[in-house]
Every structure is written in structure tokens, then in C-alpha cells.
Structure 1
């Protein structure tokens, strides 16, 4: 039985996709309580931009700098969008941002904030793509020490 006096701390991992918006809507419709402490986490992963010199990206560092700037601008737009989504959903919470591998950052941030539950979307990639690319939701489920709710599209 849940302790009625204890405030729940919820972390919702959102990348700005329709899938993550669906996860937030599911949370609001099925789990959200007015006294929940909700944090939306957006992770920026610059690793693909930093791998210049590979077969698919020229060695020109100017290109890498430009790619970083474009990703930063996209992240700022996404953060504003996530703030608006929270407000529209009537959820009291805040949006935070982390940098690095999304799965690792979600687990790390949840530990730092002492959250009691993680909500994350699943994009539904096929087994082959998931095996090759990995899956953020799969990583979080297997590395988190707290409950993780994975919302399928």
C-alpha cells in the first residue's frame, strides 16, 4: 500500500517526438496526481556530430561546429515545446536538460533527483534496428533501480 503522505517524484524522458508526447499524455490520463513532483528530461546527444573524420562526415571542423550549433538551437526549441506541453496538460513541473548518451543520462538524472518512477516512450523499432542501434527504453529498464513505465505508441 502506498504511503499517502509521501510525494511522488516522477521523471518523464522526452525527446520532442510524438511518441514521447504520447507517453506524457498517457501519464497525465492514467497516473498523474496533483501533488506529484514532475521533471521532464530532455537529453542532447552530440556524439554523432563529434565523429567528424569518419567515412560519412568530412574532416572540416567548421562543419562539426555548425552541426553542434544547429543541435543546440533544436534543443532550445524542443525545451520550449516541452514547457508548453506541460502547461497545456496542466502538469506542475519543470524541464531539465542533460548531455550525453540518453539512456545513461536518464538513469543518472533519476538517481540524482531521487525520483520514484520513470516514464519513457518506446518508438517500436524492429528487432534488427534495436540490436544494431540499441534502445534507450531497453537500457533504462535494465539499468534503473526504480520502476520504469514504457509507453508504447
Structure 2
């Protein structure tokens, strides 16, 4: 797992995993509204740049050309940087000065590794709201983190 961008000043107490989903945005806003005191002592906004492009060319057509792979990774890095910048702006509106980190890797492992690396006391994740069948076929980052993160995990689910 390679660290891509880091803007950290302190050991954060709370880490919020950010991705492009609405549930991730909702989890951040929920945390800002409900965990105010905890966030003042340190908030880390964390995002993962996925390195799995196996679905991009499904069907056995071979591997991706190196220049295409590099271009896809560069675009993803820019996208994740803009996600974190937007999340940081939302935090600032709530009076919270957040640090940001993005890494390349598998989201499940990267989030759990970041919890340990930054000595976080609470991990906040959004829930995609998949049922048991969806989790069985697609997996669940939040379920994995609940079972493997070395701190309490708060999974925030949007109301229907």
C-alpha cells in the first residue's frame, strides 16, 4: 500500500472513511453533527485509491496497457483529492480542522491499516445498505472493518 497524499498534523482521534458514495457523505455530516467534542481533538478524512482494475477489461482480453493503467490511476488520484478537498470544506463549515490522507490499495485493508497507523480511537463509515445477499456477493467494507479494525467502528446508515 503506497501513501499518495498526506496532510496530517496530529494523531487523529476519529477517522472518517470517504468515498464517492452518498452514504459516505451522509456519514461525515452525521459525525460532524453528533460527535462535535470528539472531532475537536482530531479528525482524519481518509480515502483509498483502488488498484483493482480487473473488471475494466473483463472477458479475457488480456491485461490493461501500462499507459492506460497509469492514466486511470492518475485520474483516480485527482478524483480522490477533490473528494477529500470537498469533505475538508464541509468540516471547516462545522468549525472542524480535518487532516486528509489518501492511499492506494484495497479499501478494507487500507482503512484498517490507517486506524492503527494514526492511532485512531473511532472509525466512522457509511453503510451502502446492502442486504445479506448483496454483502455475500459484493462484500462489505464496513462489515470487514467492524471485524478487523483495532478500534470501535461506527457504521452510519442513511434513513430511508
TM-score by length of 1: 0.83
Q: Does 1:80 align with 2:85?
A: yes
- Which structure has the larger Rg over C-alpha atoms? 1
Q: Which runs of 5+ in 1 are unaligned?
A: 1-6
CA distance in 2, matches of 1:90, 1:57: 50
2:143 counterpart (114, 138, 141): 138
Show the counterpart of 2:4: none
Give the conservation status (yes or no) of the 8 Å contact 1:46–1:99. Answer: yes
CA distance in 1, matches of 2:91, 2:60: 38
Which secondary structure does the structure 2 equivalent of 1:81 belong to?
helix
Q: CA RMSD, aligned part only?
A: 2.3
Q: Does 1:30 align with 2:34?
A: yes
2:121 counterpart (116, 119, 126): 116
Report the more deviating stretch, 104-113 or 31-40. Answer: 31-40
CA distance in 1, matches of 2:51, 2:12: 32
Q: Which runs of 5+ in 2 are unaligned?
A: 1-10
Show the counterpart of 1:150: 155
What is the Cα deviation at residue 54 of structure 1? 4.3
Report the more deviating stretch, 105-114 or 22-31. Answer: 22-31
